[in-house]
Amino acid sequence: MSLSYESSGVNYDQLDAFKRACQKAAKTTAPLLASHGYAEPANTRGESCYLMEADTHFLAHVEEGLGTKNLVADAVYAQTGKNFYSEISIDTVATIVNDLVTCGALPISVAMHAAVGESAWFTDAKRMEALVEGWAEGCRQAGAVWGGGETPTLRGIVNADAIVLAGSAIGKVEPKSQRITGDVKDGDAIVFLASSGVQTNGLSLCRLIASKLPQGYQTPIGHGDSRTYGEALLAPSVIYVKFVAACQKAGIKLNYVSHVTGHGWRKLMRLDEPFVYEITNPGEEPALFKFLREAGPITLREAYATFNQGIGFAAYVSPDALDATLAAAKASGYTAWHAGTVKKDGDRKAVVIPSLGLEYDGSTLQVR
Amino acid sequence: MSLSYESSGVNYDQLDAFKRACQKAAKTTAPLLASHGYAEPANTRGESCYLMEADTHFLAHVEEGLGTKNLVADAVYAQTGKNFYSEISIDTVATIVNDLVTCGALPISVAMHAAVGESAWFTDAKRMEALVEGWAEGCRQAGAVWGGGETPTLRGIVNADAIVLAGSAIGKVEPKSQRITGDVKDGDAIVFLASSGVQTNGLSLCRLIASKLPQGYQTPIGHGDSRTYGEALLAPSVIYVKFVAACQKAGIKLNYVSHVTGHGWRKLMRLDEPFVYEITNPGEEPALFKFLREAGPITLREAYATFNQGIGFAAYVSPDALDATLAAAKASGYTAWHAGTVKKDGDRKAVVIPSLGLEYDGSTLQVR
């Protein structure tokens, strides 16, 4: 039997019901912005980043967490003595700021939330220092200050050997014209930016797979890649802030961008308005994902609905802006390519990947 | 043997070493603010709220967590069926925004971080809805919008039945003159604002005490208070935003304020500059704290060094501003009184409470 994401214990239906209740209640508090000189833009609840509109700018706020990736680092550390907490810290900053830039805001400040089950977690100086250095490195890559944080001991809530890593960011869109609004049109070009591996999503399933492998995280992934499973999983996430900043600087209008995380490529159709996202050039599937599909086993359909499959970020631009977008990505150090086209097809909403024989209907994604 | 806070498993020394490493690394990222039009004010690292300075305003950022208080709500829920998750949610918002206002910033947006061990946590609709409603209510009391959040499932990190509650806030000080800088002078009046109970600190110790009581959280606290121990612990925290806002509106200069949380009344000497804080009118000790001291037992010295002992917030103002400060507090619904005086005594730093025979030296507080 092949594995699905739900078999790893994450039930999105239960979570999504809570998220919807939160969004409904949160919406009622929007009038409280007025006394601060802000207002809530229409139809932005449920986007990856919360925006507040003033006369001259939008203020942006994101709270995000790493998920369970650090359990992989813990297991690899226990087995090999190799410490990946610097990478884990970069991952945490990445997951926060990559959400923030989806609205066109650049992060100004990033704060850490690191909750342990026992304060003894911090007595391993090597691991503790890697966590600290990685957070600072993530902030540098994001061009944001590390603005404080919180490090509670939560005995009885967090497992004794574990740490919950999360945090928040403040950003700004200024001038307001740089906001990314979802102004997507029939014929827009889809640009993909490469990921470094699984980055921060699908890790519960990755851990389940490790538990079934005789060599666990020490298993070589093969397919021309010399790394072990653990090393490949723990490659630090790419931070996409400099791509968005470079496009803004070059005057390129990003019609929409998607941070490809939970729900895999289904996230490409995050926008409310129905479009068909036709991916004619999905790129070569990285070795890690081939390994995951075989080891699971995981069907191709489930893999693209769960993992980023080599794509961490997608941008939709006018065909006129395609070359400049690719140039801006390359100049700021990213691997990027023209992956496909946004098409209008009445009320149809779908992601289609003809060369892989895959198609995801809009009803398979409910994140708003 | 009497109980201390360390006996409940929280070792501040280990935590503080990590915090200091974070502050050192975070400081190196301050130059990254320049490209956003901000700068880091001098000597603000380690304050309860992170500030960024622009020409016309300060931007403020706080990340904070509830701690272990929800374990009390879980135990009371299991024993009595009485659900306190609305109160717990208010507590979480309170701990965030009460830190934010210490620099004079008013919260604009508050985001939720709610991490569970199993997504099944959300299938208890009554508890889930209380959590949602409480967060919205906390935001209303804080005058801030509920600006999104994150709700991950962290199997293997968070205990199966537990939830980690935390979050972040963005605020602004505008005009800049309303910043609370720590401009304290010999002779300043100390104003105390009442708490509603333990609020959000010392809960690990409170839980340890419950485990030793034959009736646990069902124990009546006595001392003229008809509530059970569980009910008294779960009174929602006071949110002090409206006090600071009222003082700003009335043109009252708050020289310094302290959110009295971890380290109890030692937090009154949070300011770097040495002063002696003489508390001549500590107020009547609430019944809950009398109960805690007897039940522990906890010495008077340990109690005032751990719990808020009835005081959630303290403000230091010029003697000229004392009456107006008390009036502003009363008009916005708070219980407040003139509790003592800030005194200059060379390099001596201490909190002294003569009527209780207590004195805490500056060396007993290392939170920066």
Same domain, A312 and A196: yes
Same domain, B109 and B209: no
Long-range contact list for B206-214, CB < 8 A, 24+ apart?
A: B206/B72, B206/B233, B206/B292, B207/A156, B207/B8, B207/B68, B207/B71, B207/B72, B207/B75, B208/B3, B208/B7, B208/B8, B209/B3, B209/B292, B209/B295, B209/B296, B210/B72, B210/B75, B212/B295, B213/B295
Same domain, B266 and B351: yes
CATH number of the domain residue A302 falls in: 3.90.650.10
Chain A residues inside the 8 Å CB shell of B36: 106, 108, 143, 172
Chain B residues inside the 8 Å CB shell of A138: none
Task: Give the domain-ending residue among A178, A209, A225.
Answer: A178
How many angstroms separate the CA atoms of A39 and A21, rounded? Answer: 21
Domain membership of residue A12 (yes or no) is: yes
How many angstroms separate the CA atoms of A48 and A99, rounded? Answer: 5
Chain B residues inside the 8 Å CB shell of A120: 11, 14
Same domain, A90 and A163: yes
Q: Where is B364: in which H helix or E strand? A: none
Same domain, A201 and A174: no
Task: Give the domain-ending residue among A178, A197, A221.
Answer: A178
How many domains would you assign to chain A?
2
In this complex, the residue of A71, A106, A157 whose CB is nearest that of residue B36 is A106
In this complex, the residue of A28, A50, A115 whose CB is nearest that of residue B111 is A50
pLDDT at B53 over 90: yes
Domain membership of residue B52 (yes or no) is: yes
pLDDT, tens digit (0-9, with 9 covering 90-100), for A31-41 = 999 999 999 99
Q: What is the DSSP string of A102-135?
A: GGTPEEEEEEEEEEESSGGGGG-HHHHHHHHHHH
Domain membership of residue A183 (yes or no) is: no
Domain membership of residue A184 (yes or no) is: no
The set of residues, in sequence order, having a beta carbon less than 8 Å from that of B207 and lying 6+ positions away, is A156, B8, B68, B71, B72, B75
Task: Give the domain-ending residue among A150, A178, A206.
Answer: A178
Domain membership of residue B183 (yes or no) is: no
In this complex, the residue of B22, B152, B159 whose CB is nearest that of residue A159 is B159
Domain membership of residue A11 (yes or no) is: yes
The B residues from 202 to 241 touching A (CB cutoff 8 Å) are 204, 207
Q: What is the pLDDT of residue A288?
A: 98
Q: Are strands A58-65 and A163-173 parallel, antiparallel or unpaired?
A: antiparallel
Chain B contact for A144, CB < 8 A? yes
Give the ranges where A53-104 is alpha helix by DSSP (H). 69-80, 85-100
B99-131 b/e (C-beta count within 10 Å ≥ 16 → b): bbbbbbbbbbbbbbbbbbbbbebbeeeebbbbb
pLDDT, tens digit (0-9, with 9 covering 90-100), for A249-286 = 999 999 999 999 889 999 999 998 999 999 999 999 99
Give the distance from residue A257's alpha carbon to the nearest chain B alpha carbon, in angstroms: 19
Chain A residues inside the 8 Å CB shell of B18: 114, 122, 128, 132, 151
Q: What is the pLDDT of residue A16?
A: 78
Q: What is the pLDDT of residue A339?
A: 98
pLDDT at A137 over 70: yes
Mean per-residue pLDDT, A89-110: 97
Domain membership of residue B112 (yes or no) is: yes
Same domain, B164 and B233: no
Q: Are B274 and B362 in contact (CB under 8 A)?
A: yes
> Residue B136 corresponds to which tokens in the numbers above?
């919205």
Chain A contact for B75, CB < 8 A? no
Contact across the interface for A166 and B151, Cβ inside 8 Å: no
In this complex, the residue of B25, B114, B143 whose CB is nearest that of residue A135 is B25
CATH number of the domain residue A64 falls in: 3.30.1330.10
Same domain, B116 and B261: no
Same domain, A333 and A278: yes
Same domain, A236 and A352: yes
CA-wise closest residue to A148 among B172, B170, B144, B51: B51
How many angstroms separate the CA atoms of B192 and A1, rounded? Answer: 64
What residue numbers bound the domain in which B245 lies?
A: 189-364
Q: Where is A235: in which H helix or E strand? A: none
ipTM score for this prediction: 0.93
For chain A, report the end-to-end CA distance as a whole number of angstroms: 31
Same domain, A334 and A249: yes
Same domain, A355 and A265: yes
Same domain, B169 and B214: no
Mean per-residue pLDDT, B166-186: 97
